[in-house]
Amino acid sequence: MAKIDYPAHLEAMWQKAIAPREPNAPTVISTFAGGGGSLTGYMMAGFHDLLAVEWDNNAVETLRLNWPELDIYHGDIAKLSVEEVLQRTGLKPGELDILDGSPPCQGFSTAGKRILDDPRNQLFREYVRLLRGLRPKVFIMENVSGMVKGKMKLVFVDILKELKASGYWVSAKLLNAMYFHVPQSRERMIFIGVRDDLRIEPTHPRAESKPVTVREAWQTLDVDTTGLGLTPLYSEYWRTTAPGATLGKLGATKKLDWNRAGYTIVKSEGNGGLYHPSECRMLALSEFRRLASYPDNYGFTGARRDFQERIGNSVPPLFMEAIARHVRAEILDKVETAVPANG
C-alpha cells in the first residue's frame, strides 16, 4: 500500500464528484444525509444521487450550498412514503441500485420486548420500511463500532435479523476509515446487503492505504487562526500534555500527533475532541475538513458548533467512496440484468 499525495488526491476526487454523470451511472438514495459526507463519497465514485433525505435545518442548508441541483426531502423520514420516493425519482420498485443510510440505533433490551421495539429505534424501522418498499439491489448502512460490544450486541443481532428478513443477504464488518485514504482513525460498522433474488454474496473492501498522517493531511493548507486561542486553564492542559494523549481532565479530548492519523472527530466533545499538535489552539474548519476528507472548498453553514456536529456525525467522503466503488465493481457490475423485484 503506497502513500499518496493527500491534498492532490482529495482534489482529484472532488473533481470526479462534480463532473457530469454518465448516462448509465448507478443510482443511490441517501437517507439521514446530514451534511453530505456519504453523498459526496458516492458522487466521487461516479454514482448519481437521486434524492437526499434529511430533517435538520443546518444540514439541509449545507447540502444545498454544495449540491444546489440535488433533490432534497427536508422533513421527517416517517412522513416520506415509498410512493413519493418513486414519484420523485421516476423509479419502480427494484430499480434503485443502492439505498444508503445511517439510522441511529440506541435502544437496549427491556423485559418482554424486542430491542427494536424500543421507541428510540423508530428511525431504524423507518429505514427498513423504505428498504422493503423500494427493494433496491443493494443497501449500505453505517453505524457505531460499539454496537458489537456489551449490551449493544443485542441491538446488533436484532438489526441483522430485521435486515435479513427484509429479503437481503447481509454482511456486517468493522472498517476503519484510516485505511481508506482518510487521515482520521474512525472505526465504523458497515452493513452491506444484496437483494436475495440477485444471488450475489455481499463483500467489503479490503484496506487500500497506509494511514495518512496529520502532517501529510495538512500540507499546503492555509489556516486562519483568528479566534482559536485557548483559555488559561485549557492552555495549561495543552502545554502539559504530550501529543496523542488526553488533555488533563477533558475526557475524550486529545492533542493531535503530527506523525499519526488524526483521532476520531466527535460531535459531543468541545472543539471536536481535538487540539492542534504544536500550536496552543483549537483546530480551524480547514483543518477539520482535511482530517474528515472533505474537499477544501466544501462549504459548511452555521456556527462553529454546527460544522463540528456535521463533521463529527458524518461518514468521511473518501471512506464512502471506497465502499461505493467496491460495491459497484463487485456487486452491481455483476448483475447481468436489472430484474425488478415486486413486493
Residues with catalytic annotation? 105
Rounded distance between C-alpha atoms, residue 323 and residue 343, angstroms: 28
Q: Do residues 118 and 174 make contact, with C-beta atoms less than 8 angstroms apart?
A: no
What does the buried/exposed string (b/e) look like for 240-275 if buried means 16 or more CB atoms within 10 Å of the residue's CB?
ebebeebbeebeebbbbbeebbbbbbbeebebbbbb
Q: Which amino acid is at 70?
A: L
Q: How many CB atoms lie within 10 A of CB 24?
A: 7
Q: Which residues contact 216 (CB under 8 A, 6 or more apart)?
A: 3, 6, 183
Rounded distance between C-alpha atoms, residue 147 and residue 126, angstroms: 19
Q: How many CB atoms lie within 10 A of CB 75?
A: 12
Q: Do residues 31 and 127 make contact, with C-beta atoms less than 8 angstroms apart?
A: yes
The single residue listed with the C-alpha cell 483521532 is: 263
- Helix, strand, coil shares of the chain as percentages rounded to 5? 40, 15, 45
Rounded distance between C-alpha atoms, residue 40 and residue 14, angstroms: 8
Closest alpha carbon to 338 in 140, 131, 167, 97 = 97
